[in-house]
Amino acid sequence: MSDTVQAAHERLAAAHRAFRADPSIQFDLPPVLPPRAPPAWAQAIARLLKKIAEPIGQALHWIGSFMPQASFARVLLWTLLALGVAAILWLVVRQIRWPKRREADVEEAPPEWRPDEAGARSLLEAADRLAAEGRYGEATHLLLQSSVGDIALRRPDLLRPSLTSRDIAGSAALPLGARLAFGQIARLVERNLFAGKPLAEKDWRTAREAYAGFALAGTWR
């Protein structure tokens, strides 16, 4: 029995020696290398973030000292504080981005509508001939009729039979320049036709300047 046990021990020892001698099996772990230090730029960033975070943490701790001890109340107050900070950041970002949007809107806005310049010159020549004969009311009325025709061509949806010249002049759908010019001419024509007051040369000049300033962009003033 003892011989059998002895033989078993010898076989086990031989198997162990063969196992240890197998070069494909690694029994020793490689030495542990110390961690490499981060580069100088990473250390500088870490120090900067630490300097920034420390006062923020102190401020938050100071704010938290004034808050109630109840957990739900602290959560509510912290939520309100976060919303306030987010609102401030949103306002700052809006101020930075919106001027660019306004500039883009101005650049992309279509040019203000004006009547055809050649037609406007021909109209003024005809009106000038009437005014040269002292027919200032007719000359001013001609400007008004032409203005209504220009509006009918550009914005036919704005004109209805029930509208008066004053209604057209007050329409917000017209460009500002058109409203101002049309309004001045319409008031003079109403005074001449409905109040029965003849127009003088200065009235004609007012109507002509209003129409020319709008239609010819300053070339016939």
Query: 88-122: per-residue pLDDT in tens?
Result: 888 877 777 665 555 544 444 444 555 666 777 88
Q: What is the value of pTM for the model shown?
A: 0.44
| Angle (CA) 194 197 200, round 5° | 130
Segment 174-198 shows an average pLDDT of 81
- Cβ-contact 143, 211 below 8 angstroms: yes
Distance set, CA 10 to CA 5, 6, 7, 18, 73 (Å): 9, 6, 5, 12, 76
Q: Hey, CA dihedral for 123, 153, 149, 147, is it positive or negative? A: negative
- Confidence band of 207 (pLDDT split at 50, 70, 90): confident
pLDDT tens for 5-25 read 677 677 777 776 776 776 776
- Nearest residue to 175 via CA among 129, 127, 109, 130: 109
pLDDT tens for 117-157 read 677 788 788 888 988 999 988 888 888 888 777 777 777 77
- Give CA–CA dist 47/49, Å, rounded: 6
Cα-atom radius of gyration of the chain, to the nearest Å? 45
- Cβ-contact 109, 175 below 8 angstroms: no
pLDDT tens for 21-48 read 767 766 666 677 777 888 888 888 888 8
- Give CA–CA dist 48/54, Å, rounded: 10
State residue 14's pLDDT score.
75
- What tokens does 157 get? 């949806």
